[in-house]
C-alpha cells in the first residue's frame, strides 16, 4: 500500500497515527501554501492557527476524498488554499488602514465571480500570469515583479489595465455597454 493510501486508510479509521504520517509527509507543503497566501506581516500570526484548522478539516473530510478526482496532495492543498483565502478575505475586510502604495483589492469581487478564470482568459499571457499570481495565489506585487524581472510599477499598471478590461467585459456581458 502506498503512503497516501495508508494515510487515508488510517485517518478514515480515526487512527491518529495517520494524522502523524500526514504531518510528517505533507506539513511543509501545506505550510508553504498557507504562508504564501497570508503573506503580509500582520497576517503571519494566523499561519499556525490556520495550519491546525486545515489539519482538522482534512481529518474531518477524509472520507470525502475521491482519488478519481485528484491526487491526495492536490486535494489537501486545495483545502489549505481555500481556507487561507477565506482568512485573507476576512483580514482584508477588517483592515482599516490602506496605504496608497499597497493595493488592497477593492475589486475582490473579480476573484469571487465564478467566471474569474474565463474572464482572465481574455487577457494577454503575461497579464493572465500576473492576475493569477496576484488575485488567485495572493502574491504581492513586489514578489511578482521579482519573479518576472520587471518593476513593481509595471505590475500595478498591468493589474490596473487588466481590471479595466475585465470590468468592460463584464459590463458588455451584462448589457451595460
What is the percent of the chain where pLDDT is above 70? 83
Return the sign of the alpha-carbon dihedral for residues 47, 52, 55, 58: negative
Alpha helix (H) ranges present in the chain? 3-12, 16-37, 47-61, 72-94, 109-112, 116-120, 125-131, 141-148, 152-173
34 has pLDDT over 60: yes
Taking the domains of the chain in order of start, what are their residue ranges?
A: 3-94, 109-173
5: pLDDT confidence band, cut at 50, 70 and 90?
Answer: very high
Here the cell at position 163 is 481590471
User: What does CATH list as the number for 3-94?
Assistant: 1.10.1740.10
Task: Please name the residues in contact with 143: beta carbons below 8 A apart, sequence gap of 6 or more.
Answer: 39, 133
How is domain 109-173 classified at the CATH fold level? Arc Repressor Mutant, subunit A (1.10.10)
User: What's the pTM value of the predicted model, to 2 decimals?
Assistant: 0.54
pLDDT tens-place string over residues 94-120: 764 444 444 444 444 444 544 566 677
Amino acid at each position: 500500500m502506498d503512503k497516501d493510501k495508508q494515510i487515508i486508510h488510517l485517518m478514515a479509521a480515526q487512527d491518529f497515527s495517520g494524522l502523524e504520517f500526514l504531518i510528517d509527509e505533507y506539513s511543509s507543503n501545506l505550510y508553504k501554501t498557507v504562508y504564501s497566501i497570508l503573506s503580509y506581516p500582520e497576517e503571519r500570526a494566523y499561519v499556525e492557527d490556520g495550519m491546525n484548522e486545515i489539519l482538522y478539516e482534512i481529518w474531518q473530510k477524509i472520507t470525502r476524498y475521491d482519488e478519481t478526482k485528484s491526487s491526495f496532495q492536490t486535494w489537501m492543498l486545495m483545502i489549505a488554499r481555500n481556507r487561507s483565502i477565506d482568512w485573507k478575505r476576512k483580514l482584508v475586510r477588517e483592515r482599516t488602514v490602506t496605504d496608497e502604495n499597497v493595493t488592497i483589492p477593492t475589486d475582490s469581487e473579480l476573484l469571487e465571480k465564478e467566471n474569474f478564470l474565463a474572464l482572465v482568459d481574455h487577457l494577454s499571457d503575461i497579464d493572465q500570469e500576473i492576475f493569477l499570481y496576484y488575485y488567485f495565489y495572493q502574491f504581492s506585487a513586489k514578489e511578482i515583479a521579482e519573479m518576472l524581472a520587471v518593476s513593481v510599477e509595471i505590475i500595478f499598471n498591468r493589474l490596473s489595465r487588466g481590471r479595466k478590461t475585465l470590468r468592460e467585459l463584464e459590463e458588455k456581458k451584462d448589457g451595460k455597454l
